[in-house]
A = this chain, B = another copy of it.
Amino acid sequence: MKETFGEYIKMLRTTHGYTLTQLAGLLDIDFANLSRIENGIRDFDKKKLSKLAEVFSLNIEALQDEYASDQLAKHMYEIGCSKELLKVAEEKAEYRRTLKK
């Protein structure tokens, strides 16, 4: 899925014909902040993922992966992550895995 998590939510919302107010109500969040989430200004609250999955009948594990990959992509984007830096990070992540065993 090549879109931000916010764009994904907006797609879900519009294809289901919901307004911000309606979806925000179902998710129990402020509609103005949902707007910010869709536009990438704020993050979607991780704790609300299960509710989001419920509302749109999505697989929760898949949704969590969408979320996690989006957060990681954001991190990578923010640090201006080159291929080389990513490679180093992968090795270091692997190293951390070896540590905790």
Report A's interface with B, CB cutoff 8 A.
1-4, 65, 68-77, 79, 81, 85-86, 88-93, 95-97, 99
The residue on B at minimum CB distance from A88 is B69
Task: Give the docked Cα–Cα distance between A23 and B3 (Å).
Answer: 45
- Closest B residue by C-beta to A75: B75
Looking at chain A's contact residues, the main secondary structure is helix
Please give the count of copies of this chain that the complex contains. 2
When the two chains form their complex, are residues B2 and A95 in contact, meaning their CB atoms are under 8 A apart? yes
**Known interface pairs A1-B88, A85-B65, A88-B1; A95-B75 also in contact (CB < 8 Å):** no
Residue pair A72, B96 in contact (C-beta under 8 Å): no
> B85 contacts A72, CB within 8 Å?
yes
Contacts A2-B92, A90-B86, A96-B4 hold; do A72 and B81 have CB atoms under 8 A apart? yes
